[in-house]
């Protein structure tokens, strides 16, 4: 993820889409928003938000989690 200091100073939260083919062969794509808290011009905390239900459904679909995660 690339952020510029301009984005951080103006308090615009960076958004990122992550895509992958999982080890179980399923396709994964989900959007994330990051809230970066600054202290003395340095990032001191990052909070990450995503659609957890969609992520769960993309990873596990109709399978029980124990069938996929070992």
Residue 28 in any domain: the answer is yes
Residue 23 in any domain: the answer is yes
Going by pLDDT thresholds of 50, 70 and 90, the confidence category of residue 37 is confident
pLDDT of residue 26: 87
Residue 52 in any domain: the answer is yes
Residue 5 in any domain: the answer is no
Going by pLDDT thresholds of 50, 70 and 90, the confidence category of residue 67 is low
Token readout for 17 is 């889409």
With 70 as the cut, is the pLDDT of residue 13 above it?
yes
In terms of DSSP H, where are the helices of the chain?
A: 5-9, 52-60, 65-68
Residue 26 in any domain: the answer is yes
Residues in the chain: 70
Three-state DSSP state, 37: strand
pLDDT of residue 50: 92
| Tally of domains in the chain | 1
Domain extent at residue 23: 15-62
Residue 4 in any domain: the answer is no
């Amino acid at each position: 993820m690339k952020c510029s200091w301009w984005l951080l100073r103006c308090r615009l939260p960076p958004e990122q889409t992550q895509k992958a083919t999982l080890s179980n062969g399923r396709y994964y794509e989900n959007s994330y928003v990051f809230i970066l808290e600054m202290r003395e011009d340095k990032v001191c905390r990052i909070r990450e938000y995503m659609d957890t239900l969609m992520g769960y459904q993309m990873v596990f679909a109709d399978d029980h989690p124990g069938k996929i995660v070992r």
